Structure 1
């Protein structure tokens, strides 16, 4: 037995830490190629210092994900001060200094725009959050969602910057006069008429589904006003409201942590599961239209993928844990 202890790797230098962060940004961008994952692996294996920086960055990210209120509280305190004295870009720089690598790792979980990173309320990839607002309204935030709150004496406005929410309107009992409750997106606004409703911001428009009572839709670039009632859904862009139809009864199953598929194409199932995990998830075009029915966990997407593999004639091909493709079995 040797009398010499194994030397510990050197502490990562600031430059190496920045390289690790850059790799995490690149790989979690949603557009990294298989070659990028391999290149990152080679970088990590090139020096013990690289491996240690990567390991610590992942560890910090995991700890902050498990305690979401800790960094968000610190970030919010920093932003409250910064917004009073400087622009949003300078405030973002101050935020990075204040929360250090841990906060940076938290922010890099999703390729946010700057406005989403600075939002009042945020969720990371795979995170679903319940928030009780000051007026008594209950907000459920889906994975990778960002919301700004603009409550004043005249109205209660939620700006949906990214993602999907379900909002149950509160009584606003402490207000001295009636304040309308509004969800705003880049396409227009949804006004609650004493209700529970879902709002999903997508690239081409905003989808709204009403679970109880009613809402009023107003596209930004139009004088049109459309009322949706319980069981109805529609989507609108900046010019008009489209496709008024009966609502899908399973549309808010994500609030219970599940995806309900009823003869859904495999490609669509994977698109939904992919929103709750990092990396690349896709299928071979030969099985893309395979019809899938079942209930799948959004909290444990690995279990859902295993269920798909066991139940249908498909198998998983893993280039890395972050690059998964489903192909025909055999």
Structure 2
């Protein structure tokens, strides 16, 4: 009979820490619910922790309310959680051993904007708009927990002794980097993984067989790890660099992608929005992209002050 693993216990504890510290967003509440439903052992671990605290019910609306009212910081919340976990026996002790000296941070990309982050070891993250991660380094490993959206990761060599593997966790399993560049995205019912350089190892929480993905391969984590049957593609996704590459796309859709990066409001009237457009544009240089569009399509720019711009037919 399957039993609760230290990894599942650690997940339950970190969800508790997130909500008790008052940092949980609506997307994270949804992710937490999906994590609980993904595996009966997840729910069992959560209920064990909830039974100890008596503060996490009703859920999710009243989650951690007493703790939130006390305005406790993350470190204090972690210490309390560690004390609670100690009551659950040897399995929790595996989680506790990872915590001394841990460095934790949360990173979120606002709607419409990418977020670039350099971690303490030199690894590079690019969060797609709306993504959120938690990063935790301890003496055993470098952990990135993906809570929402998609993230691109370029790993750096760890100078710590002993060497610490870099892992990405979602509610479906964990991905271990084998010296690599890769992307991880949360999707309906699974985690999608694409490798641009070297390789990664996928391991589902269900205890099923793991899988190694090589450069150019795509895979997913659900109850099992699987390799997707599609042609090899080792290219970095366009969103990582901020490129918008389109062929016969609607102008309105391109403008929507440029709008969050443009100073003020950028709009497109319905007639102009229906025009087909092809080309490569840059989210990081929205004004230059707009000029390129005007040079190739029968549209013009109408401005009303410095913060209102409209694309309309000539």
Give TM-score scaled by structure 2 length: 0.52
CA distance in 1: counterparts of 2:109 and 2:235, whole angstroms: 22
CA distance in 1: counterparts of 2:305 and 2:189, whole angstroms: 32
The 1:237/1:313 distance shift into structure 2, 3 A limit, reads farther
CA distance in 2: counterparts of 1:322 and 1:293, whole angstroms: 27
The 1:303/1:234 distance shift into structure 2, 3 A limit, reads farther
C-alpha contact 1:236 1:242 (8 A) present in aligned 2: no
Select which of 252, 265, 283 maps to 2:237. 252
Q: Does 1:183 align with 2:168?
A: yes
Partner secondary structure for residue 295 of structure 1: strand
Aligned to 2:228: 243
Partner secondary structure for residue 73 of structure 2: helix
Q: Does 1:170 align with 2:122?
A: no
Structure 1 unaligned residues grouped into runs of 5+ = 1-79, 88-117
CA distance in 1: counterparts of 2:127 and 2:194, whole angstroms: 15
Q: Residues 256-307 of structure 1: CA distance to partner in whole angstroms, max 9, x if unpaired?
A: 33223355565764564466569897886996694x4311111243543554
CA distance in 2: counterparts of 1:173 and 1:289, whole angstroms: 53
C-alpha contact 1:234 1:245 (8 A) present in aligned 2: no
Q: CA RMSD in A?
A: 4.3
Shift of 1:161: 2.0
C-alpha contact 2:134 2:145 (8 A) present in aligned 1: yes
Q: Residues 44-103 of structure 1: CA distance to partner in whole angstroms, max 9, x if unpaired?
A: xxxxxxxxxxxxxxxxxxxxxxxxxxxxxxxxxxxx97123459xxxxxxxxxxxxxxxx
Shift of 1:149: 0.9
C-alpha contact 1:284 1:326 (8 A) present in aligned 2: no
Q: Does 1:146 align with 2:137?
A: no
Q: Number of residues paired by the alignment?
A: 218
Structure 2 unaligned residues grouped into runs of 5+ = 1-70, 79-103
Q: Does 1:124 align with 2:115?
A: no
Partner secondary structure for residue 170 of structure 1: coil
The 1:203/1:82 distance shift into structure 2, 3 A limit, reads same
Give TM-score scaled by structure 1 length: 0.50
| Paired residues for 1:61-76 under 5 Å | none
CA distance in 2: counterparts of 1:247 and 1:222, whole angstroms: 28
Aligned to 1:82: 73
Aligned to 1:193: 178
Q: Residues 225-284 of structure 1: CA distance to partner in whole angstroms, max 9, x if unpaired?
A: 332211222344455546342355654344433223355565764564466569897886
CA distance in 2: counterparts of 1:289 and 1:236, whole angstroms: 39
CA distance in 2: counterparts of 1:241 and 1:282, whole angstroms: 42
Query: Please, which moves more after superposition, 220-229 or 263-272?
Result: 263-272
